Structure 1
Amino acid sequence: MDPLLAVSVGVAVAVAAAPGLATAGPTFGQASLLVTQPVGEGDQTPTDPPPGTEPPAPTDAPPTVRPPVETSAPPASTAPDPLPTVIVTSAAPPTVAPTTADPRPTLPPPPTPPSGPADGGRPDAPLGVRVTTGDVRLAEAYWNAASSTATLQVTVTNTGAVAERLSLTYVLPPGVTDAGTPGCAAAGDGGYRCGAWTTAPGARFSSLIRVRVSGDAWRRMPLGGTVSVTATAPGGTGSARDDEGFAVLFPPGPPVPGIALGTDEVAFDISGGPSSLEVRLGNTGTVDARGLVEVTLPDGVTVSTPPAGCVSAADGRARCQVGTVPAGRTAVLRLPVAATPEAQRSAPLAGAVAGQLDPRNGASRRVQMSFRITAAASLTAPAVGTPQPTGSQGVLGGSVDRPDPAGGLSSAQRTAILLIVVSGLLVVLALTLATTSLRRRLAAPPGGATGSPGASE
């Protein structure tokens, strides 16, 4: 009986333990899942508001930092026409894209932008605002992360003649979201709005927008967004607005052995004439391969005259065969690029380039990257009081005729009054002449006689 009792007890213990074992399996699986999930930075990413609801307006302005040093627009280019496709014959390793590190030193944040009344506090003084942007630059570590955070520097200048309240909004492209910028909240459709600064005339400062780029956003390149700033005067009417684009710049990738890709920034000078895009496709493998380059340009930017071996499409894409790229060599492709005035005023913009190598035997190798497009037209500030195009020009709102500083009439008002007075005098003169002529006709004798009865004798 003792052995049987022992066996019975053992069976009972096993049956009692079975439910516990059944529930232990899922618990273990969940623990494994938690371990394999990527570790984030703990940022609270703003989410879009529910459909049909108006998001609350932020009450605080984003923090400010010291603005970058202003640079003058580059002179008109005197470079010769772009060269056709060439093959670099040196055995030097292929050139790669320039580093994405920001060369500017990190400076401590300055105090809040200066504020206070100006121009006697007159609310009818001219308004003006200008905004410039940097880029969202991603490092090589982007290719090894589920998502990456970066910063976008926005510089704002009060170009008006009165203290202004400046409000900031920005739109991020698909795959890019805000990563918790203080003072900003989601407004729907990829847009965000921030609290406002109160600034004095001439105040210039920068603010940093933190963004998160998803791990698959590179599939949609080129990516870019826009930043807008609106200026209003406390107690006044009307507003001024300026906006500028920015580029999301991806490093070459996804990394693939045996191929390298590099390109330079496209810059349009002050003349607005064509520029050039240089693409470097390197074969770092051990066998020769046929090279292919595909370029995608934003709206308003095109390959003006495709060289031999290139076909340009209407959607801003160009596909170029660069021939055989020997092992250890680099093919250099230079494309002439043109942009409309509207596209140049909206710069900086983003373009994308993809490189592909097809060896005689083996799988194809393909990488892609994005590049920056700038224009001197977006850096020029127009004169006050002239009609302005939209986008990155320091647009002035309100009247285009500045009032007399002494409080008198403007030149347009004086001209209008003078024209009214002259018109009135002409009308009076015409009435006087007509009245005089009518009186003379009524005073004349019947039959048209002009002399006395005895004059005919």
Structure 2
Amino acid sequence: MARVKASPGNRAEGRRSTPLLGTALALGLLAALAVGPAWASAAMPDADPVVSVTDPVSEPGGDPETTPSEKPTPTEEPSGDPAPTDPAPETTAPPPETTPPAPETTAPEVPPAPSTTAPAPGGPPTPVPPVPPAPSAPPASPVPPVRPPAPHPEATPPNPLGVQVTTQDVTLTEAYWNAASTATTLQVTVHNTGTTAQRIRLSYTLPAGLTDAGTKGCSAAGGSAYRCGAWTAGAGVRFSALLRLRVDGTAWRQMPLAGSVQVVADAPGVPGEAADDQGFAVLFPPGPPVPGIALAADEVAFDISGTASTLALRLGNTGTVDAAGQVEVVLPAGVTIPTPPPGCVAIDETRTRCDAGLVLAGRTAELRLPVEATPQAQREAPLSGAVIGQLDPRSGPTRQVQMSFRITSAAALATPVFSPPAPTGSQGVLPGGGANDDGGMTSVQRTAVVLIVVSALLVVLALTLATTSLRRRLAAPASEPAPSPAD
């Protein structure tokens, strides 16, 4: 029987489809083999990172102020006011807190957008810049194995205790020089900076020449120390108390004078205590009054850096005769003049004497001296210093007057934080490449997904081509047998 021979066209078509099918299948297999490790790594579930989330500590609201009361009792105190649990000084409204003005901010300048103009009709077409080719996908890199997070100690819970005390100064007027003793007050402001109600106790120490003048709820504790009762104040409560003091008429001879106030706070069920203290200065006016001489001193202020400050003094001759001037500066412990300027000499660690030269009648001599303070002295501020001015005229008696000046420091206002800061970041371990906001996928995982999709498309394309080729071969009509030479 004669064989059926295929036509040359059908044979050529069969030969073309066979290499095409093989090439497509080979490409699909190669792509699948290439992305197999990355696919497996991307599909591998990552270890769950351990994230430590801390609840934010609620800040107390605004500073509630206490209402003055003559005889406060624990049962009659309004909500938010401190209730005295022991005999304590009377409370008054605290002074308003002052905050520095916020710095001015200006909106950043926005560069103008480049102007574009349409081409004129009939003009040459505007050339379009070539579009750079898209970067090819980086090769898949193996994902490093994820290690379990190392064990770490749990964060210490914040301490709910906290207290702050601020004081005003004892400032005397010119009437002090005409009295045997002067009654005055010292205002103390207490602030519960914790997050729970606390029992706050107050005590204070007076310098020489000052005594307590009968402050209710306070009693002598030996020497120059006094101890008061306690208040129960809620979280964020801020209140003031007035301490009644008496200044002796001869106390000016011992200037500079300064005292201190201490507060201690505790709460039931909370271990430990919170404490704070601050000093106060006793400021005398220039005197005793003497005609023909004037004296003035500026306040010494140390900034938060604690660097040296400057003391400015002015010695005036208000008489009618020229006089030789001299100034002596007396500083508290921890405050010194490191390098006396020309004309000044250090008598001891706390006293420095300066020659002001000849001060003409009706003129004023000004001196400026550098001042330093130890960190401990800055924490105890405000303090006070004293200056003694003297004029020795060509004729007549020597005139002398003295006064005190204030020493402040920004470090004294920096209350220590009783609550340790809690961790703000994640304490877990992140896999290589870092997490992002794209559903938690890393760059390596995204690359693996893209390659997997491309490989799947290649395999589908190869199968489609093979199926189409087979269908064409099956649908082609059978060719008629060619006539044999014998026929």
- Pairing 1:204-215 to 2, within 5 Å after superposition: 204-215=238-249
Q: Residue 93 of structure 1 aligns with which residue?
A: none
Contact 2:86 2:231 in 1 (8 A): no
Consecutive unaligned residues in structure 2, runs of 5 or more: 1-84, 103-156, 429-487
Are 1:144 and 2:171 counterparts? no
Q: Residue 197 of structure 1 aligns with which residue?
A: 231
SS in 2 for 1:154: strand
2: CA distance, partners of 1:236 / 1:63:
27
- Pairing 1:238-249 to 2, within 5 Å after superposition: 238-249=272-283
- C-alpha deviation, 1:402, in angstroms: 6.9
Q: Residue 66 of structure 1 aligns with which residue?
A: 93
Q: Say which of 372, 375, 384 aligns to 2:406.
A: 372
Q: Residue 282 of structure 1 aligns with which residue?
A: 316
- TM-score, normalization by structure 2: 0.56
Q: Say which of 250, 255, 266 aligns to 2:300.
A: 266
2: CA distance, partners of 1:208 / 1:200:
20
2: CA distance, partners of 1:199 / 1:173:
29
Q: Residue 161 of structure 1 aligns with which residue?
A: 195
Are 1:229 and 2:256 counterparts? no
- C-alpha deviation, 1:128, in angstroms: 1.0
In angstroms, what is the RMSD of aligned CA positions?
A: 2.6
Compared with structure 1, are the counterparts of its residues 239 and 175 closer, same or farther at alpha carbon in structure 2 (3 Å cutoff)? same
Are 1:177 and 2:211 counterparts? yes
Compared with structure 1, are the counterparts of its residues 159 and 345 closer, same or farther at alpha carbon in structure 2 (3 Å cutoff)? same
SS in 1 for 2:201: strand
1: CA distance, partners of 2:265 / 2:228:
13
- C-alpha deviation, 1:159, in angstroms: 1.1
Consecutive unaligned residues in structure 1, runs of 5 or more: 1-57, 76-122, 386-399, 405-410, 415-457
Amino acid corresponding to residue 288 of structure 2 in structure 1: P
Q: Deviations over 1:200-258 (max 9, x none)?
A: 11111111111100000000000010100000112433211111111000000001111
Contact 1:279 1:332 in 2 (8 A): yes
Q: Residue 397 of structure 2 aligns with which residue?
A: 363
- Pairing 1:245-394 to 2, within 5 Å after superposition: 245-385=279-419
Contact 1:60 1:195 in 2 (8 A): yes
- C-alpha deviation, 1:125, in angstroms: 4.8
Q: Deviations over 1:376-404 (max 9, x none)?
A: 1111234444xxxxxxxxxxxxxx58799
- TM-score, normalization by structure 1: 0.60
1: CA distance, partners of 2:408 / 2:97:
15
Amino acid corresponding to residue 144 of structure 1 in structure 2: N
- C-alpha deviation, 1:72, in angstroms: 4.7
Q: Deviations over 1:40-89 (max 9, x none)?
A: xxxxxxxxxxxxxxxxxx931111112122235899xxxxxxxxxxxxxx
Q: Residue 459 of structure 2 aligns with which residue?
A: none
Contact 2:158 2:422 in 1 (8 A): no
1: CA distance, partners of 2:403 / 2:91:
31
Structure with higher Rg: it is 2
2: CA distance, partners of 1:74 / 1:372:
25
1: CA distance, partners of 2:387 / 2:414:
29
1: CA distance, partners of 2:159 / 2:339:
48
Q: Deviations over 1:74-118 (max 9, x none)?
A: 99xxxxxxxxxxxxxxxxxxxxxxxxxxxxxxxxxxxxxxxxxxx
- Pairing 1:19-30 to 2, within 5 Å after superposition: none
Amino acid corresponding to residue 307 of structure 1 in structure 2: P
Compared with structure 1, are the counterparts of its residues 275 and 71 closer, same or farther at alpha carbon in structure 2 (3 Å cutoff)? farther
Whose relative contact order is higher, 1 or 2, with alpha carbons under 8 Å and at least 6 apart?
Answer: 2
- C-alpha deviation, 1:183, in angstroms: 1.2
1: CA distance, partners of 2:297 / 2:101:
20
Contact 1:74 1:376 in 2 (8 A): no
1: CA distance, partners of 2:382 / 2:269:
35
Compared with structure 1, are the counterparts of its residues 74 and 326 closer, same or farther at alpha carbon in structure 2 (3 Å cutoff)? farther
Q: Residue 397 of structure 1 aligns with which residue?
A: none
Contact 2:283 2:404 in 1 (8 A): yes
Amino acid corresponding to residue 227 of structure 1 in structure 2: V
SS in 2 for 1:142: helix
2: CA distance, partners of 1:305 / 1:189:
37
Contact 2:206 2:258 in 1 (8 A): yes
Contact 1:125 1:162 in 2 (8 A): no
Contact 1:290 1:325 in 2 (8 A): yes
Compared with structure 1, are the counterparts of its residues 335 and 257 closer, same or farther at alpha carbon in structure 2 (3 Å cutoff)? same
